[in-house]
């Protein structure tokens, strides 16, 4: 069980050690202490390991994550889980802007609030935010699911494609081509699955959520929709 103290070990050495891990490594549990808000901690991990980070992290923590489970016992800076492929990232505090940006798979859980552009250009990732999210979240969301227990800021889902958004609280405004949609049984089942994965299925009533997605008017240029571009 490697224990890395970033007060005495360089970030470069830490990330190099993580990058060298084989898929069948027996070093499956890592602890990182004194992260001190460093940027790019545990970026590009490509092995099924668990990484516990004891404190706040800076930009892009867990970026390009593949298979790893990364638990951040604090808050995260910009772009946590950016372009992650699979695995799990769990932020026990708040997340700054662009959380889960361009994520292609896996799950990102934020126990607190997420700032602007949460899930921007998401491509298959599942994001669960147990607090509020900021403006332009799910902007150009192509695929994946975003679940928000609290409120959503302005221009939610602007220019969204096929990502699905579930929000329990008020939405300040919807972006271009984003509309509220019917909650059918398949969506309730999907939402329940996501709540179970985040450990909240017994605490939250799915009937309180509303679903948002694409009106599909911006897929192809149409002069009647020119004002929305």
pLDDT in tens, 99-111: 999 999 999 999 9
Residue 189 pLDDT > 90: yes
| pTM of the complete model beyond 0.85 | yes
State the pLDDT confidence band at 204, using cuts at 50, 70 and 90: confident
Query: Residues 29-76: pLDDT tens digits?
Result: 999 999 999 999 999 999 999 999 999 999 999 999 999 999 999 999
Q: What angle do CA 197, 203, 207 make, to 5 degrees?
A: 90
Decide if 37 contacts 59 (C-beta within 8 A): no
Residue 52 to residue 56: CA distance in whole angstroms:
12
**For residue 223, what pLDDT is reported?**
64
If you count them, how many residues does the chain have? 229
Classify 198 as helix, strand or coil.
coil
**What are φ and ψ of residue 63, in 5° steps?**
-60, 145
Alpha helices in the chain (DSSP H): 11-19, 185-197
3-state secondary structure of 22: coil
CATH class of segment(s) 3-220: mainly beta
User: What's the pLDDT score for residue 76?
Assistant: 98
pLDDT greater than 90 at residue 222 = no
* CA 120 to mean position of chain CA atoms: 9
DSSP 104: -
- The CA–CA distances, whole Å, from 19 to 30, 48, 131, 212, 221 equal 13, 12, 33, 38, 44
């Amino acid at each position: 069980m490697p224990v890395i103290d970033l007060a005495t070990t360089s970030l470069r050495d830490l990330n190099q050690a993580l990058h060298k891990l084989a898929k069948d490594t027996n070093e499956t549990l890592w602890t990182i202490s004194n992260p001190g808000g460093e940027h790019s901690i545990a970026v590009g991990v490509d092995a099924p390991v668990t990484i516990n980070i004891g404190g706040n992290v800076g930009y892009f923590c867990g970026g390009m994550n593949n298979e790893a489970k990364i638990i951040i016992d604090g808050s995260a800076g910009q772009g946590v889980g950016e372009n992650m492929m699979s695995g799990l990232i769990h932020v026990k505090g708040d997340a700054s802007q662009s959380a889960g940006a361009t994520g292609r798979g896996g799950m990102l859980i934020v126990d607190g609030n997420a700032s602007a552009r949460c899930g921007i250009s998401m491509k298959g990732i599942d994001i669960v935010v147990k607090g509020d999210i900021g403006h332009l979240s799910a902007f150009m969301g192509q695929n994946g699911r975003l679940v928000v227990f609290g409120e959503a800021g302005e221009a939610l889902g602007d220019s969204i494609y096929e990502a699905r958004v579930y929000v329990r609280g008020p939405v300040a405004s919807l972006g271009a081509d984003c509309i509220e949609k019917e909650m059918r049984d398949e969506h309730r089942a999907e939402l329940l699955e996501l709540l179970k994965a985040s450990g909240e299925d017994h605490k939250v009533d799915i009937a309180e959520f509303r679903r948002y997605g694409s009106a599909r008017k911006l897929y192809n240029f149409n002069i009647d929709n020119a004002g929305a571009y």
